[in-house]
Amino acid sequence: MKNKLSITEAAKICGYQRTYFYKIIDKYNISIKKDGTGKSYIDPSELVRAMPTDIINNDLLSAFIGIDTPDNNTTIQNPTIQDTTKDEVIELLKQQVKHLN
């Protein structure tokens, strides 16, 4: 599973062009980090925390971070999350992030 998104990937997930997404980063106070090569990235959980839920494209987010689920009815097998659809897992993670704020 991928734990970081490029600025371009994050912009696509939210439905914006990369250049405009920098304004969105400022508006929603999204934290940007740099890797060892100096390339900027956003942690997926930071994107979920900061952005309104209706803006994020859950299918694109899942594709970029590497959740291999071909459709919304596919269950994710995890010792702590049994028989849960991808969208339910994403919603659960969003709720957990909200409680951290």
Quick one: tokens of 23?
């304004």
Q: Which of 14, 47, 16 is nearest to 30 (CA)?
A: 47
The ranges assigned to domains in the chain are 5-100
SS3 69: coil
- What pLDDT, on the 0 to 100 scale, is given for residue 90? 80
pTM of the model: 0.62
Per residue in 26-72, pLDDT (tens digit) is 999 999 999 999 999 999 989 988 988 888 888 888 888 876 544 54
Per residue in 9-27, pLDDT (tens digit) is 999 999 999 999 999 999 9
How far lies 90's CA from each of 14, 54, 62, 97, in Å? 15, 13, 9, 11
Q: Give residue for tokens 């925390």.
A: 49
